């Protein structure tokens, strides 16, 4: 898809058909886009964890109590390792959240390009999710998204509720 069309038409999808799996090559292309994302000092402090098995999905689904979320056939968890991310010498600021946000955006835009629905989710129960995915020491979960296709007949809202251009841009 043309890049600006992709930006305009992507929206959060909250409707997933559990029987429509994302095939492996599509999944891999999406993950590859995340792998290619930039990061501070090129540290790439991330791991992309994909839950697709019935057993693992069962566990991961407990972290977010929305029915549409529980229908998704795949759940992608973007995990970061603080010990691997870049730290600014002046004030110890670490770039981990920025790095992971960029990776997540690459993943979401690549998914959109593949016609795969996503919804960036952050309002999950962190402890439940950490346990479900076997989070390691030093690792933090940054965000998750379902990956999948809506039920037949689903239509996108096709409306972008956003502040105006003038409100968010300042030329100086």
Ligand X SMILES: Cc1cc2nc3c(=O)[nH]c(=O)nc-3n(C[C@H](O)[C@H](O)[C@H](O)COP(=O)(O)O)c2cc1C
The binding site for ligand X (CB under 6 A) comprises: 11-12, 119-123
Q: Which is nearer to ligand X, 103 or 119 (CB)?
A: 119
Q: What is the DSSP letter of 73?
A: S
Q: How far is the CB of 157 from ligand X (least distance, A)?
A: 7
How far apart (Å, rounded) are the C-alpha atoms in residues 172 and 125?
A: 42
Q: Which is nearer to ligand X, 111 or 121 (CB)?
A: 121
3-state helix, strand, coil in the chain (%, to 5): 40, 15, 45
Q: How far is the CB of 9 from ligand X (least distance, A)?
A: 10
How far lies 58's CA from each of 86, 117, 145, 147, in Å?
A: 35, 20, 15, 15
50 CB-contact burial (10 Å; exposed 0-12 / middle 13-18 / buried 19+): middle
| Nearest by Cα to 45 from 136, 112, 120, 127 | 136
Q: How far is the CB of 171 from ligand X (least distance, A)?
A: 25
Q: Which is nearer to ligand X, 86 or 120 (CB)?
A: 120
How far apart (Å, rounded) are the C-alpha atoms in residues 70 and 76?
A: 13
Q: Which is nearer to ligand X, 123 or 172 (CB)?
A: 123
Q: Which is nearer to ligand X, 72 or 136 (CB)?
A: 72
Q: C-alpha 161: how far from its chain's center?
A: 21
């Amino acid at each position: 898809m043309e890049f600006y069309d992709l930006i305009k038409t992507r929206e959060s999808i909250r409707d997933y058909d559990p029987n429509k799996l994302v095939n492996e090559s599509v999944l891999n292309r999406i993950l590859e886009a995340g792998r290619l994302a930039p990061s501070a000092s090129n540290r790439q402090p991330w791991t992309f964890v994909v839950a697709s098995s019935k057993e693992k999905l069962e566990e991961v689904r407990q972290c977010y109590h929305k029915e549409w979320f529980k229908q998704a056939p795949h759940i992608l968890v973007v995990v970061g390792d603080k010990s691997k991310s870049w730290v600014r010498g002046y004030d110890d600021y670490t770039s981990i959240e920025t790095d992971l946000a960029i990776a997540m955006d690459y993943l979401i835009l690549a998914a959109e390009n593949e016609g795969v629905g996503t919804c960036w989710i952050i309002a999950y129960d962190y402890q439940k999710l950490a346990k479900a995915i076997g989070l390691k020491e030093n690792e933090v979960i940054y965000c998750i998204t379902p990956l999948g296709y809506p039920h037949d007949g689903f239509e996108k809202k096709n409306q972008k509720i956003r502040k105006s251009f003038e409100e968010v841009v300042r030329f100086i």
